[in-house]
């Protein structure tokens, strides 16, 4: 009987070795066949008595795996030396943030090195489209949240969901819904997950509000928000509000449109939805900020810092700036959520950068790049980037909100960011959005320069987005 068992074990080993030789790549064996082979070998003696059946079963499963080898989970990086080039949109800070993660990855995978090249926001979009058209350039890029859909739909980026479905499942589980909904089109492809996020916030000079109005209560609704602006103007502050990030553009308008219960498109992206009462209500308010409350058209934080304006709508980057580098403002300001609109909820635009793999790269490069993207979502990588940002007196907001507590800012500001993240939404994920959104900016600016009205502007926005949606 023992000899019989010995023969069976030898047979099982031979079959496994032959199967491994027949498999197209070692990576597939490592992720599928070996796991199943181990489950047979480690079974009890009862299983060994039926090992011939089990052996046959393993071979059959192996053949099925070979048919779907192109959609296996993220393979391990290749052992041969690989250098990955990443074009990072932004400046030295953004490049350094990415470098903090790549350095850690190289420590774990010495055969993989990186070349990080920063590309300015003004040049990045055009440069990435040119690289995709020429089928030559970086292996990966980071950039605006909707760029991944645009590049992917045009064949410039690989679909991670098709090639690495297990990786995509892991990424989705760690990504806030408002972000995931912005980077995945209705058709379901995942061309580029989020890397780093930026969040719209409301800022208040609490000392001036108390002085001018006699109250230290911050507004929670649109009605309270405009009432505060009215009070500040009545008290002699002619420019009570500053809007920096998103000023005179679709980005700034989105905060108020979504809070009103409106949207740019239907949920399935089949129609443009700017011909609604909600869109009109939101645009009237957005225009009032400039025409009634004299919000400057130029980007400038100085009036808020000097106390010439008491309310500011801008990105989260001001929090570490004021908390860590401007002691003269200590105790004089607060960060919080934007006010809730007619929908009963606030809405905060969340932007930032995606990271994706260019389609002209080799499969080996794609495999290693996919593994690196998965690594970016690990605790180790997120902590490394948060630590780097803290050393630069800045903050890193990853796709997951669990690392807010690592930020080097006061607890009250961490709480403000957490609250805003619960009502944060990225840009639309619909076809033609990048090409069509300039029509929104143009229509808004025409009103502000006396060349149109709200209803006409909405008609132009509607037409502009419909044109690019149907092309």
More confident residue, 365 or 70: 365
Do residue 161 and residue 47 come from a single domain?
Answer: no
The answer to whether residue 157 sits within a structural domain is yes
Q: What is the pLDDT of residue 241?
A: 98
DSSP E strand stretches across 264-345: 311-315, 334-336
The answer to whether residue 31 sits within a structural domain is yes
Asked whether residue 15 carries a pLDDT value surpassing 90, the answer given is no
Do residue 355 and residue 397 come from a single domain?
Answer: yes
Report the C-alpha gap between 305 and 241 in whole angstroms: 12
The answer to whether residue 73 sits within a structural domain is no
Q: Name 4's Cβ contacts closer than 8 Å, sequence gap at least 6.
A: none
Q: What is the pLDDT of residue 233?
A: 97
Asked whether residue 1 carries a pLDDT value surpassing 50, the answer given is no
Do residue 335 and residue 357 come from a single domain?
Answer: no
Residue 314 corresponds to which tokens in the numbers above?
Answer: 């801008």
Do residue 312 and residue 461 come from a single domain?
Answer: yes
Do residue 253 and residue 204 come from a single domain?
Answer: yes
In the predicted model, what is the mean pLDDT of residues 262-276? 97
Q: What is the pLDDT of residue 194?
A: 96
pLDDT tens digits for 363-400?
999 999 999 999 999 999 999 999 999 899 888 998 87
Do residue 252 and residue 370 come from a single domain?
Answer: no
Give the domain extent around 373: 83-198+351-406
The answer to whether residue 41 sits within a structural domain is yes
In the predicted model, what is the mean pLDDT of residues 344-363? 96
Q: What is the pLDDT of residue 120?
A: 97
Residue 146 corresponds to which tokens in the numbers above?
Answer: 């909707």
pLDDT tens digits for 435-456?
999 999 999 999 999 888 999 9
DSSP E strand stretches across 2-108: 82-89
Which helix (H) or strand (E) covers residue 289, if one does? helix 277-291
Q: Name 172's Cβ contacts closer than 8 Å, sequence gap at least 6.
A: 180
Residue 361 is classified by DSSP as S
Report the C-alpha gap between 161 and 167 in whole angstroms: 8
Burial of 113 (0-12, 13-18, 19+ CB in 10 A): middle
Asked whether residue 258 carries a pLDDT value surpassing 70, the answer given is yes
The answer to whether residue 441 sits within a structural domain is yes
The answer to whether residue 226 sits within a structural domain is yes
Do residue 97 and residue 204 come from a single domain?
Answer: no
Report the C-alpha gap between 299 and 318 in whole angstroms: 13
The domain that contains 209 carries what CATH number? 3.40.190.10
Could you identify the residue written with the tokens 């030789």?
Answer: 21
The answer to whether residue 447 sits within a structural domain is yes
The contacts found for 332-335 with CB under 8 angstroms, 24 or more apart, are 332/205, 332/206, 332/207, 332/208, 333/203, 333/204, 333/205, 333/206, 333/207, 334/203, 334/204, 334/206, 334/218, 334/412, 334/416, 335/201, 335/202, 335/203, 335/204, 335/413, 335/416, 335/417
Do residue 392 and residue 247 come from a single domain?
Answer: no
DSSP E strand stretches across 134-240: 140-143, 194-204
Do residue 368 and residue 342 come from a single domain?
Answer: no
Do residue 141 and residue 213 come from a single domain?
Answer: no
pLDDT range class, residue 74, cuts 50, 70, 90? low
Residue 218 is classified by DSSP as P
Q: Give yes or no for a contact between 215 and 235, defined as CB atoms under 8 angstroms apart.
A: no
Do residue 30 and residue 177 come from a single domain?
Answer: no
pLDDT tens digits for 167-192?
999 999 999 998 999 999 999 999 99
The answer to whether residue 77 sits within a structural domain is no
Task: State the total domains in the chain.
Answer: 3
Q: Crossing angle, helix 454-470 and helix 277-291, to 10 degrees?
A: 120
Which helix (H) or strand (E) covers residue 412, if one does? helix 411-421
Could you identify the residue written with the tokens 């709480």?
Answer: 415
pLDDT tens digits for 207-238?
999 999 999 899 999 999 999 999 999 999 99
Do residue 318 and residue 293 come from a single domain?
Answer: yes
């Amino acid at each position: 009987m023992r000899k019989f068992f010995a023969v069976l074990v030898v047979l099982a080993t031979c079959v496994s070795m032959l199967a491994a030789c027949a498999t197209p790549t070692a990576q597939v064996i490592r992720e599928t066949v070996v796991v199943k082979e181990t489950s047979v070998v480690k079974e009890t003696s009862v299983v060994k008595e039926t090992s011939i059946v089990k052996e046959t079963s393993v071979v059959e499963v192996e053949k099925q795996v070979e048919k779907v080898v192109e959609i296996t989970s993220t393979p391990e990086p290749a052992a041969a030396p690989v250098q990955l080039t990443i074009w990072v949109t932004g400046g030295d800070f953004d490049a350094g943030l990415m470098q903090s993660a790549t350095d850690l990855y190289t420590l774990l995978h010495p055969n993989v090195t990186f070349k990080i090249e920063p590309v300015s926001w003004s040049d990045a979009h055009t440069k990435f489209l040119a690289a995709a058209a020429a089928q030559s350039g970086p292996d990966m890029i980071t950039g605006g949240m909707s760029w991944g859909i645009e590049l992917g739909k045009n064949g410039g980026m690989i679909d991670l969901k098709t090639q690495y479905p297990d990786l995509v499942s892991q990424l989705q589980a760690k990504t806030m819904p408002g972000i995931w909904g912005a980077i995945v089109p209705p058709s379901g492809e995942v061309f580029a997950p989020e890397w780093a996020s930026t969040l719209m916030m409301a800022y208040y000079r609490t000392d001036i509000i108390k002085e001018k109005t006699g109250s230290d209560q911050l507004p929670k609704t649109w009605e309270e928000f405009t009432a505060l602006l009215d009070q500040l103007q009545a008290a002699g502050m002619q420019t009570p509000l500053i809007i920096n990030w998103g000023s005179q553009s679709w980005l700034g308008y989105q905060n108020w449109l979504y809070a009103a219960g409106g949207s740019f498109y239907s949920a399935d992206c089949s129609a443009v939805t700017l011909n609604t009462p909600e869109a009109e209500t939101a645009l009237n308010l957005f225009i009032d900020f400039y025409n009634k409350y004299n919000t400057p058209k130029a980007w400038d934080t100085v009036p808020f810092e000097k106390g010439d304006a008491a309310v500011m709508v801008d990105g989260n980057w001001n929090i570490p700036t004021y908390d860590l580098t401007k002691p003269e403002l200590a105790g004089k300001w607060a960060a919080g959520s934007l006010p809730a609109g007619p929908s009963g909820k606030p809405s905060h635009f969340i932007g930032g950068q995606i990271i994706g793999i260019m389609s002209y790269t080799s499969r080996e490069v794609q495999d290693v790049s996919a593994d690196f993207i998965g690594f970016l979502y690990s605790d180790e990588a997120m902590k490394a980037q948060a630590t780097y940002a803290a050393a630069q007196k800045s903050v890193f907001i990853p796709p997951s909100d669990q690392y807010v507590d690592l930020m080097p800012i006061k607890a009250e500001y961490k709480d403000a960011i957490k609250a805003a993240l619960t009502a944060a939404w990225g840009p639309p994920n619909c076809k033609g959005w990048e090409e069509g959104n300039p029509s929104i900016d143009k229509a808004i600016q025409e009103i502000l320069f006396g060349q149109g009205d709200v209803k006409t502007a909405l008609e132009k926005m509607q037409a502009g987005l419909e044109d690019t949606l149907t092309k």
